Amino acid sequence: GQNIDQPTEMTATEGAIVQINCTYQTSGFNGLFWYQQHAGEAPTFLSYNVLDGLEEKGRFSSFLSRSKGYSYLLLKELQMKDSASYLCAALKGGYQKVTFGTGTKLQVIP
Amino acid sequence: EAQVTQNPRYLITVTGKKLTVTCSQNMNHEYMSWYRQDPGLGLRQIYYSMNVEVTDKGDVPEGYKVSRKEKRNFPLILESPSPNQTSLYFCASSLFPPAESRWTGPLHFGNGTRLTVT
């Protein structure tokens, strides 16, 4: 399988910056997704990284290092509405599926 | 509006009573997939379909069936539901299958179906 590891829970303060890490098996790796999921709702797409480096989209940025099997999602200027689970997911070459990690539940506190 | 529609949103049933969860997408996507989500286990793939009449097992297919007779629809069938199938189910689709070079992502998810089997 495509083992994906990310922290179970994190807490951060409103207005601050938080980094959510994700590690994965590099064998056959083709790309990495980040999704946001509010409790009981559908996951919504945040980013997709194929090449090494940082991609920025407003307050959210995603970084990938293919050689290290490592990615992170960076959330800036945290807002209360950012409280959600963040799912790291990997695409493996030749496999017709996207494999998800168990998610990191982020709580933003005032 | 481009979307993936699942029905029903909530379903409570009893062990052994056959049920179908419907999934429909209006984006002409080739690839469709079913996931179940359980606490501590994340999203796990049940079945997927790369196009009409082409389906295959995911990681946890036992107790489930699917069909893809039309491009837009991908129903999930539980012939004889059991309590261990109590879960939150998501249907997802993408324009092309993930393993193809045409893949541009991402997966689009339906709003989920919360199933309880007693």
Q: One digit per residue, pLDDT tens: chain B, 118 residues?
A: 779 999 999 999 999 999 999 999 999 999 999 999 999 898 999 999 999 999 999 989 999 999 999 999 999 999 999 999 999 999 999 988 877 777 777 889 999 999 999 9
Q: Are strands A9-13 and A104-109 parallel, antiparallel or unpaired?
A: parallel
Best mutation site among B30, B32, B38, B43 for testing chain A: the one with the most A CBs within 10 Å?
A: B43
Chain B positions touching A30 (Cβ under 8 A) are 98
Largest CA distance in chain B: 44
In three-state secondary structure terms, B21 is: strand
Q: Which helix (H) or strand (E) holds B18?
A: none
Q: Quick check: B27 contacting A, CB < 8 Å? A: no
Q: Which residues pair with A63 in a beta bridge?
A: A54, A72
Rounded distance, CA A30 to CA B74, Å?
26
The dihedral built from the CA positions of residue B55, B59, B62 and B63, taken in this order, carries a sign that is negative
Measured between CA atoms, how close is B109 to chain A, in angstroms? 6
Query: Nearest Cβ partner of A42 from B48, B106, B109?
Result: B109
